[in-house]
Structure formats: structure tokens, C-alpha cells
Chain A
Amino acid sequence: EVQLVESGGGLVQPGGSLRLSCAASGFSFSTYALHWVRQAPGKGLQWVSSISSGSSSIYYADSVKGRFTVSRDDAKNSLFLQMNSLRDDDTAVYYCARVDVWVQLDCWGQGTLVTVSS
């Protein structure tokens, strides 16, 4: 069974840092691109970042560029999102998702909640 499990969310003060993890199982992790998508409370889906297989292509939404860093460890079947200089508007549930050939997000984790508040 294909599975993605996020962890690392929590409460952090503005300006603080947090590192999210996404553990994958049930598929050949190294051959897939992976994305982070977030959803603020009561709001829609917002794409955050993507990383290709082999980490050769990495993209960020303008709202997080320069503050967030995506990475992957294929040996550990894990995806990461290092989030620095966090702001109130970064508060959201963060999902990791696997991407298939047509850039459809065909498998999602259950999400991890990040709350930025003083």
C-alpha cells in the first residue's frame, strides 16, 4: 500500500523554525517527484514546493522562497521541508504528496498542522 506520513508540525513563534518530515512506503520512492502543499484554516489548497527525482529540479512558491528548503533522502524514503523565519500566515496543515507522470498528485499524506503564533 502506498503511504505517506507527515510529522514535525507544532506550535512555533513568529520568526522561528520547524522541520517537517514525510515518510514514504509502498512504492519506489527515489523514482518519484514529491510536493508540499498547504492549507490554511478554512482556506483552499496552496502549492508550496516541489523536488524532482534525483533532486535535480526544485521549485518554490514565491510566498516561501528564501525561507523554506525542500530536500529528500532516498536512502531513508523521506522528504523534508525546513521552514525558517516563520510568519503568522504560514499557519496551515502541510501535506506531502507524490506526483505521477502528468504532474497529478496521486497520493497524499494525512497532513501535519503548523501553527505560528506568539
Chain B
Amino acid sequence: SYALTQPLSVSVALGQTATITCAGYNIGGKNVHWYQQKPGQAPVLVIYRDTNRPSGIPERFSASNSGNTATLTISRAQGGDEADYYCQVWDGSTGWVVFGGGTNLTVL
């Protein structure tokens, strides 16, 4: 079955740029979505279809997808960005939704 791999944790200095990767076989050929989850809360969609931000998501959140890696970039990181981030794709061969293992972002 299709698998997505994310780093367990990423740290970024306040005001700097954080990069979170999501690796999967030929992930560039799939639509990748990203979610932010803060402790005790439900996930929130922050990027859909590789590069698109839902309304209400700051422009500081951007993403790309090519080859075997999708990337979420958070510019000018703030303390409020501390959260777990998950990538997600749909595996059309099985009909399953697949999540990456999640990355915990710490803002120092």
C-alpha cells in the first residue's frame, strides 16, 4: 500500500522559515494536502491540491510537490505555528486516504 514519510520533528527559530517534507513514491503525480493540528484540537486544512491555501490561512503557509517529495514551507514562523503537521494523499488504486506520520514543529 502507498506510504508517506515525514520527519518526526522540525525546529525553527522565531521569524525564520520552516520546511517540512513528505516523501512518497511519485508523489508529484498525486494531489497533496496538508493539515495543522494543535494539542487537543481537530486537524485544520492549511494547504490543498499541492499549493492552494483555504480561505483564512495566512500567506506565510506555502507548499510544493514534485518527484518523490512534497514540501510545506512556513515563512516568518510564529509561536502560534507550533503544532503537528500531516501530509495526505488519496490512493486511487485502493480508494484509501493516506496520511503521513506527522511532523511536530517547534518554534524556538
- Which residues in window 27-61 of B have CB below 8 A to A? 31, 33, 35, 37, 42-45, 48-49, 54
Contact A104 B95 (CB under 8 A): no
- Which residues in window 35-80 of A have CB below 8 A to B? 35, 37, 44-47, 50, 57, 59, 61
Q: How many residues of B contact A (CB 8 A)?
A: 24
Closest to A93 in B: B42
**Residue A106 CB within 8 A of the other chain:** yes
B residues bordering A, Cβ < 8 Å? 31, 33, 35, 37, 42-45, 48-49, 54, 84, 86, 88, 90, 94-102
Could you name 24 residue pairs across A and B whose Cβ atoms are closer than 8 Å?
A: A35-B97, A44-B84, A44-B86, A44-B101, A45-B37, A45-B43, A45-B88, A45-B102, A47-B96, A50-B95, A50-B97, A57-B95, A59-B96, A61-B96, A102-B33, A103-B31, A103-B33, A104-B33, A104-B49, A105-B33, A105-B88, A108-B43, A108-B44, A110-B42
A residues bordering B, Cβ < 8 Å? 35, 37, 44-47, 50, 57, 59, 61, 95, 100, 102-106, 108-111
